[in-house]
Amino acid sequence: MSSSLSPVPGQPDRLFYDGECGLCHGAVRFVVDHDPAGTAFRFAPLGGATFLATFSPSARSQLPDSIVVRTADGRTLTRWPAVLHIGQKAGGLSARLADAGWLLPNWLGDLAYDAVAKIRKRLFAAPTDACPVAPVELRKRFDP
């Protein structure tokens, strides 16, 4: 059971992440590792120019300060649905786990997501640099 719609051909989804969160950086590294061709996702920090251009001030005020996915077909996914979408696009075991995750009601998945989000900065060390330098071949996948 999946909530993913057909992707827009040739257009990756955009993953916005908290640049001061070790868990978010880990999620970005996970996606990069599982999308070596760079066709599934582009990346941009929350609060960066791309984020500000993508979401209106009123929309931004309702988004979490962790991971937000803007799909190529225009949907905005947050919290549990965003995690499941990322897992599905990562493929392999992650996709199977995400498919199983859709069996949980969203409110329960969001509750678990919120519990981790509250303590994520204590559990996962912040990156030593606010914006670690990505290798040259990966920089084209990141937006300001």
Q: What is the pLDDT of residues 60-106, one digit of tens each?
A: 999 987 789 999 999 999 999 999 999 999 888 888 999 999 899 99
Q: Would residue 141 count as lying in a domain?
A: no
What CATH number is given to the structural domain containing 61? 3.40.30
The residues facing 14 across adjacent strands are 42, 70
Residue 1 counted as domain residue: no
- State residue 135's pLDDT score: 63
Amino acid 83: pLDDT: 92
Distance between CA atoms of 77 and 144, rounded to whole angstroms? Answer: 20
Answer yes or no: is 32 within a domain: yes
**Is 3 a domain residue?**
no
Please give the tally of structural domains in the chain.
Answer: 1
Query: Is residue 25 one of the residues assigned to a domain?
Result: yes
Specify if 98 maps to a domain: yes
Domain span at residue 38 reads 13-127
List, for residues 11-47, the tens digit of each pLDDT value.
899 999 887 777 777 788 888 888 878 888 998 999 8
Kind and range of the H or E run holding 67 = none
**Per-residue confidence at 117, pLDDT binned at 50, 70, 90?**
confident
Is the pTM higher than 0.85? The answer reads no
pLDDT at residue 16, as a whole number? 94
* Predicted pLDDT of residue 128: 62
**Residue 4: inside a domain:** no
Query: CA-CA distance, 7 to 13, in Å (whole number)?
Result: 8
Is position 40 within any domain? yes
